[in-house]
Structure 1
Amino acid sequence: MPAQIRPISEELQANAKEFLNEVPERIESDLEALKTWIKQQPHLNPRTDDQFLIAFLRGCKYSLERTKAKLDKYFTLRTKYPELFSVTDVDNPKLREIQRLGPIVYLPNLLNGCRVGMFRIGVCSADKYTMLEVMQVGQVMQEIALMEDDHAIINGVIFIMDLKGATPGHFLQMTPGMAKKMTAFNEEALPMRPKGQHFINTITGFETIFNMFKPMMSKKQQGRLFVHGKIESLTEHVPLKYLPKEYGGENGSIEEAIAVWGKKFDEYRDFFKDNANYGTNEKLRPGKPIDFDSIYGTEGSFRKLNVD
């Protein structure tokens, strides 16, 4: 049976071949090899539809061993920390309230083939919303992008973090433990391709958080971090026209993006309910169970998960 995946444009296919080692004629057998391995893992119960699994193969440049590790970590972390990584109810009133404020938006026009996203923590009052609640909205959006945004999966995502309106209250909510979990998930479990993170309108206290996150990241990702005092410095990397209208650009408006994503939350309602059916059971894991406390204790250095 042919692989049940979306067709992609010639340009995207060329990029998938050149940068991700994709061989279109071999996709079916690559997916089959991954599914065979999944069936042999008593502790692992993941989604197995082709469109979901090919995102992991592409995110790991078709290395089967890396794909196995990433898929395992994805469901391991979601099972252990569902409040951070596994949303099952997109009709939660607070989740929707935050989504409508637009702290996180993805923009319609691509920059060199990459998706452009914006994170504006300052639009959510730290007195009313927690960082965890805002991150849950981002988690939903990431998961939807994982399922439907071939540009983000194949070419990558450029993120702009605008800290205008942020307060020390926002930063105080980001504990070292949460930072470690999020860094591990984004780098080791999520099959997205981050191509750059740009910080603008930084405030007092930002440096402390920045210096907490940075050492947890791989050297490659550290090299993709850029701090800009003002927007003029940002536009040397992200030309103005790729920013939304509210920033003087031509890349749609934040209001439009919020509306588009509100509809997507509706469309994916059953998909997220279904999340409750997937995960891992550490009691059934072959070999030694993962000691999460030693990995994520707030003291000591962060050690990478080892579930290959």
Structure 2
Amino acid sequence: MTTRRGQELDAMLSEMQNWFETNPNLPEKIEPIVLHRFLKCMHYDVEKTKTIIELNYGLRNKNPHIFIDRNMDDEQTSKGLQVSDLLILPGLTPERHKVLLFRMADFDPSTRNSVEETKIFFMMTDARFTEPDIETRAEDQNEKPDFADTYIADGDVQIVDIDGYTMRHLAYISIFVLRVYMKFVQEAYPSRLRAIHIINCPSFLDRMMAMMKPFIREEVYQMINYHTEGMDSLYKVVPRDMLPVEYGGKAGTIAEIKTHWLRHLKEKTAYLSDDKYWKIASQSKSRWSLF
């Protein structure tokens, strides 16, 4: 049975879908659940949602080497997938937040590539955004029009493990890519950032953060938590069971979680490389179709 809330969401999504598909400043297509994520991120304020969507795709098209020109079989991308671990952990926290964990798999500074690492991050999150954030039955999706409101996270929590970082690694950080990444995540990302937890902090952390601070908004900077005395302080804010086995949790090993998401990326290859979802092709749309 369709609830009143479900009817309202259906109407809002239909309106937004039409706006998106007839907007010459946007790509041709968007997945309905991705559109729903944008709306939820902006607390269902339609005008604010339109603004963040146009900023999202505007930034993508200004930086196609990061957001559009992507292929898992590319040599540099394949190497990036090997030397870094980006894990999207299963389940949601009690606050309904999704947890992402980043760490180096190869400590050699020469293996760092800011463009590829950033590209992989957005490939992974773009693939993730096409599915509910927790497992759900197909019948739930069909029978509950507002299911996405329940199965979409209320925000993201990032855990950054910088074990193995040295001063030499800082030389391989691209300031340009860092600026693009921070602007996109802070202003155009379809999920609200709720907290950043940095673990295994090195002694030179202050210099690392000094490099990043010019690109971090004050409210985001206040979300950063430094765990300098082991993992116990992290367990107080992120459920221990949600973490990989290597971090004292029960979510599976890093290899198992990574294999799951690499398989998911492979399944989403056509979507991730389809220009109709990412490239702005104004000539294919007419502004007059809005009226």
Question: Which TM-score band applies after superposition, normalised by the shorter structure?
Answer: 0.7 to 0.9
Q: Which amino acid aligns with 2:254?
A: I
Which one of the candidate residues 75, 80, 104 is aligned to 1:121? 104
| 1:289 equivalent in structure 2 | none
What is residue 126 of structure 2 aligned with on the other side? 143
Residue aligning to 1:96: 78
Aligned to 2:231: 231
Percentage of matched positions with identical amino acids: 23
Say if 2:70 and 2:272, in contact at 8 Å, map to a contact too: yes
**Aligned 1:1-150 pairs, distance under 5 A:** 23-112=5-94, 113-121=96-104, 123=106, 125-150=108-133
- Distance in structure 1 (CA, Å) of the matches to 2:112 and 2:219: 32
Q: In the alignment, what sits opposite 2:261?
A: 261
Pairing 1:182–2:188 present: no
* Structure 2 gap segments, 5+ residues each: 135-150, 285-291
Q: Secondary structure at the match of 1:23?
A: helix
Deviates more, 1:73-82 or 1:198-207: 198-207
What does residue 148 of structure 2 align with?
none
The answer to whether structure 1 residue 220 and structure 2 residue 206 are counterparts is no
CA drift at 1:39: 4.8
Three-state SS of the structure 2 residue aligned to 1:123 is: coil
Task: Give the distance between the partners of 1:246 and 1:108, measured in 2 at CA.
Answer: 15
Q: Is the 8 A contact 2:90 2:242 kept in 1?
A: no
- Report how many residues are paired: 267
Contact 2:163/2:200, CA 8 A, preserved across alignment: yes
Shift of 1:191: 0.5
Aligned CA RMSD, in angstroms, stands at 3.0
Contact 2:84 2:105 in 1 (8 A): no
Amino acid at match of 2:156: V
- Residue identity in the other structure for 1:218: R
Q: Deviations over 1:159-198 (max 9, x none)?
A: 1100001222332222433222111100111101222110
Q: Give 1:53's aligned amino acid.
A: L
Q: Secondary structure at the match of 2:130?
A: helix
8 Å CA contact retained: 2:68, 2:279: no
Q: Give the letter aligned to residue 117 of structure 2.
A: V
**CA apart distance, 1:260:** 0.4
Determine helix, strand or coil for the equivalent of 2:196. Answer: strand
Contact 2:126–2:272 under 8 Å retained in 1: no
After TM superposition, give the deviation of residue 279 of structure 1 in Å.
2.5
Report the alpha carbon displacement of residue 201 of structure 1 after superposing the two structures with TM: 1.1
Deviation at 1:204, TM superposition (A): 4.0
What's the offset of the Cα at 1:255?
A: 0.8
2:47 partner amino acid: E
TM-score by length of 1: 0.76
Q: CA deviation at 1:240?
A: 3.1
Correspondence 1:192 to 2:191: yes
- In structure 2, the partner of 1:10 is none
Single out whichever of 264-273 and 23-32 deviates more from structure 2: 23-32
1:99 Cα deviation after fit: 2.3
* Counterpart residue number, 2:144: none
Q: Is the 8 Å Cα contact of residues 196 and 223 (structure 2) preserved in structure 1?
A: yes
Contact map agreement 1:166 1:203 (CA 8 A) in 2: yes
**Residue identity in the other structure for 1:220:** E
Deviation at 1:102, TM superposition (A): 4.7
Mapped to 1, the partners of 2:99 and 2:277 lie a distance apart of 31
The answer on whether the counterparts of 2:246 and 2:254 sit within 8 Å (CA) in structure 1 is yes
* Residue correspondence of structure 1 range 268-287 to structure 2 within 5 A: 268-275=268-275, 278-280=278-280
Change (3 A) 1:280 1:256: same
User: Which range is displaced more, 118-127 or 179-188?
Assistant: 118-127
Task: Please tell me whether the aligned partners of residues 114 and 177 of structure 2 are also in contact (alpha carbons under 8 angstroms).
Answer: no
What secondary structure, in the 3-state scheme, does the structure 1 residue paired with 2:90 have? Answer: strand
Change (3 A) 1:48 1:116: closer
Tell whether the 8 Å contact from 1:107 to 1:252 is kept in structure 2 after alignment. no
Mapped to 1, the partners of 2:31 and 2:250 lie a distance apart of 36
- How high is the TM-score relative to the length of structure 2? 0.80
